[in-house]
Structures are given as structure tokens and as C-alpha cells.
Copies of this chain bind each other. A is one copy, B any other.
Amino acid sequence: MEFLVRFETALPDSFTAEQVAGLKESERERAMELRKDGALKRLWRVPGRRAVVGLWEAADATELHHALSSLPQFPWMDVQVEPLATHPQEQG
């Protein structure tokens, strides 16, 4: 099942530049793993914002939550999840 997921990330001002860089690096690594696992299918940037829209695949909302909460920046993300149904035009 696919989900449309919107993140807006706000890291605390108190983080040092190194902390931010380290977090972004580990975020990218974990995202790459989730792509390999087929959980994360596409990612777009919302222009002008520290926000992304992503297309995710998961068996259900519980599995999706585990994937999202495995991201290192999860504690500082505001996340909105929208379930998607298959459109008849998409089928074979």
C-alpha cells in the first residue's frame, strides 16, 4: 500500500554545524537503505521550505510508522501521512 508523506524538519538552534552535518549524513544513509528496501519510492523537495513530500510503500500504517521513526531526524520532524488507494486507470 502506498502513502503520501509530508515532512517539515526544524532542528534546534542550539545544534552545532557539525551536529547538523552529521545528522544530515546519517539521515541520507538511512533514507538510502529505506529506498533499497522498497519503503521509500520517491522524494520531492517543497520549494522554499525545509520540507519534503515522499511516496512510501508499506504493508500498513504500523510498518510505515516504523520506517519513518527509523529516520535519525524523526524527533525534529512534523509528519503528515495520507493513505492512497489504487486508481482504476493504474491497473494492468
- Please list the residues of chain A having a beta carbon within 8 angstroms of any beta carbon in chain B: 1-5, 12-14, 28, 31-32, 35, 42-49, 52-53, 59-62, 64-65, 68-69, 79-90
Q: Identify which of B1, B4, B82 contacts A62 (C-beta below 8 A).
A: B1
Chain B residue at smallest Cβ distance from A31: B89
Q: In the complex where A1-B62, A61-B84, A83-B3 touch, is A89 in contact with B28 (Cβ < 8 A)?
A: yes
Interface of A is mostly: mixed
| Residues A84 and B32 in contact, CB atoms below 8 Å apart | no
What's the minimum C-beta distance from A4 to chain B, rounded to whole angstroms?
7
Q: Give the CA-CA distance A53 to B37 in the complex, in Å.
A: 25
User: Which of chain B's residues have a CB closer than 8 A to the CB of A2?
Assistant: 44
